[in-house]
């Protein structure tokens, strides 16, 4: 069910969940201080309770409402990358609900850049807990229609158009003057290191965000990755029914072909929408032309590997 901005603000303040646009993916939002609203998020997503949620805030001025400290390093990262697709995991104040942080001693914070998300945060005055607005393990939504298809008409959705970043935020744990990447995203390790001034410290925290596991971001249709167009064409010839995702131009015979821009920013923006459309064809196999393994493509590699159920 579509709602407008004023309705979304009223619903959130009354302790209901609303799917909202952000620049990365759509989030299933609720008042981060309202535990029954938070439980509703877990129930709708069918998400295990041990997987914590990101709290979205209006600006870095609100960080200390949630975290016990905002180190110089965390402030530097926030100053450059907020508002935007960066989530900072910081030591949590004890008052932060253990439901939102799933019992962790830390809280994940993000200031989203999307103007509609910003308007919601300003007008509601709330911190909004919001995981991606999809069922657990399924593809993240990058449009209001994806949310309705995945979660059903009963969930209120605020339409803010197609998400421009297109994949989930980069997650970084910061402890004092040390940092560690917990989830790859379009803000790369190189960009983070340049701002941090020090390389990441591996094993600062458990290496993965608790919610990072293999069966994530998956379409329903089996998906296979190919490191060359030639290998993909060979495989397509052996399939009864397939769809192909191609980097840049091209067309594969006997296979519905989808073309995405052959650059990381352009492909990220279209990735989930394209996978949603390929999945809807109900073919036997999705064949994906994998991008090169250079640093700027790593986040896309990560999502494709998870979608293919084979992390490599
Ligand atoms: O771009 C995004 O991050 C989107 C939009 C809606 O903001 N949100 C998103 O949320 O991707 P979700 O719940 O699908 O993924 C959040 C990830 C999970 O893997 C979770 O385990 C991790 O963040 N996370 C949350 N709080 C954490 C914490 N305190 N420590 C470590 N990881 C945490
Ligand atoms: Mg998610």
Tell me if 232 is assigned to some domain.
Answer: yes
State whether residue 58 is helix, strand or coil: coil
Low-confidence winner among 29-43, 96-110, 190-204 (lowest mean pLDDT): 190-204
**Is the predicted pLDDT of residue 312 greater than 50, yes or no?**
no
Encoded tokens for 30: 């609720």
Tell me if 24 is assigned to some domain.
Answer: yes
Q: What is the mean pLDDT of residues 207-222?
A: 68
* Interstrand relation of 128-129 and 170-175 (parallel, antiparallel or unpaired): unpaired
Tell me if 9 is assigned to some domain.
Answer: yes
Residues 26-74 pLDDT 10s: 999 999 999 999 999 999 999 988 999 999 999 999 999 999 999 999 9
Burial class (CB in 10 A: 0-12, 13-18, 19+), 47: buried
Domain extent at residue 269 = 223-307
Q: Are residues 61 and 169 in the same domain?
A: yes
Last residue of a domain, one of 196, 213, 232: 196
**Cα 132 to ligand 2 centroid, rounded to whole Å:** 4
Please indicate whether residue 256, judged by its CB atom, sits closer than 6 Å to ligand 1: no
Encoded tokens for 219: 């379409």
Q: Are residues 106 and 160 in the same domain?
A: yes
Q: Are residues 77 and 170 in the same domain?
A: yes
Tell me if 77 is assigned to some domain.
Answer: yes
Asked if residue 211 has a cis previous peptide bond (ω within 30° of 0), the answer is no
Please indicate whether residue 212, judged by its CB atom, sits closer than 6 Å to ligand 1: yes
Please indicate whether residue 129, judged by its CB atom, sits closer than 6 Å to ligand 1: no
Percent of the chain with pLDDT over 90: 90
Last residue of a domain, one of 179, 196, 213: 196
Please indicate whether residue 24, judged by its CB atom, sits closer than 6 Å to ligand 1: yes
**Cα 10 to ligand 1 centroid, rounded to whole Å:** 25
Instruction: Output the domain CATH number for residue 18.
Output: 3.90.870.10
How many domains does the chain divide into? 2
CB atoms within 10 A of CB 61: 10
Q: Are residues 121 and 67 in the same domain?
A: yes
Average pLDDT, the chain: 94
CA distance 134 to 45: 6
**Cα 197 to ligand 1 centroid, rounded to whole Å:** 25
Q: Are residues 278 and 180 in the same domain?
A: no
Last residue of a domain, one of 156, 179, 196: 196
């Amino acid at each position: 069910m579509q709602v407008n901005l004023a309705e979304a603000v009223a619903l959130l303040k009354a302790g209901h969940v609303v799917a909202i646009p952000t620049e990365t993916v759509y989030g299933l939002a609720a008042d981060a201080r309202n535990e029954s609203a938070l439980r509703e998020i877990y129930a709708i997503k069918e998400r295990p309770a041990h997987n914590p949620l990101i709290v979205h805030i209006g600006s870095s001025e609100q960080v200390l409402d949630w975290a016990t400290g905002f180190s110089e390093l965390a402030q530097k990262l926030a100053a450059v990358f907020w508002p935007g697709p960066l989530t900072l995991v910081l030591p949590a104040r004890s008052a932060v609900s253990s439901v939102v942080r799933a019992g962790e001693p830390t809280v994940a914070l993000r200031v989203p850049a999307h103007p509609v998300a910003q308007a919601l945060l300003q007008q509601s005055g709330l911190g909004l807990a919001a995981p991606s607005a999809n069922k657990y393990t399924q593809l993240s939504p990058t449009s209001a229609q994806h949310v309705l298809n995945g979660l059903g008409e009963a969930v209120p959705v605020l339409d803010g158009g197609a998400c421009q970043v297109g994949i989930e935020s980069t997650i970084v744990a910061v402890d004092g003057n040390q940092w560690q990447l917990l989830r790859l995203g379009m803000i790369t390790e190189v960009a983070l290191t340049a701002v941090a001034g020090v390389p990441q410290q591996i094993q600062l925290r458990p290496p993965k965000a608790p919610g990072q596991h293999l069966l994530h971001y998956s379409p329903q249709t089996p998906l296979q990755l190919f490191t060359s167009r030639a290998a993909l064409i060979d495989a397509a010839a052996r399939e009864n029914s397939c769809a192909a995702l191609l980097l840049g131009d091209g067309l594969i015979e006997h296979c519905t072909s989808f073309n995405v821009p052959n650059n990381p920013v352009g492909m990220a923006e279209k990735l989930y929408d394209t996978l949603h459309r390929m999945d809807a064809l109900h073919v036997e196999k999705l064949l994906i032309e994998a991008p090169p393994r250079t640093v700027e493509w790593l986040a896309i590699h990560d999502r494709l590997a998870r979608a293919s159920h084979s992390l490599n």
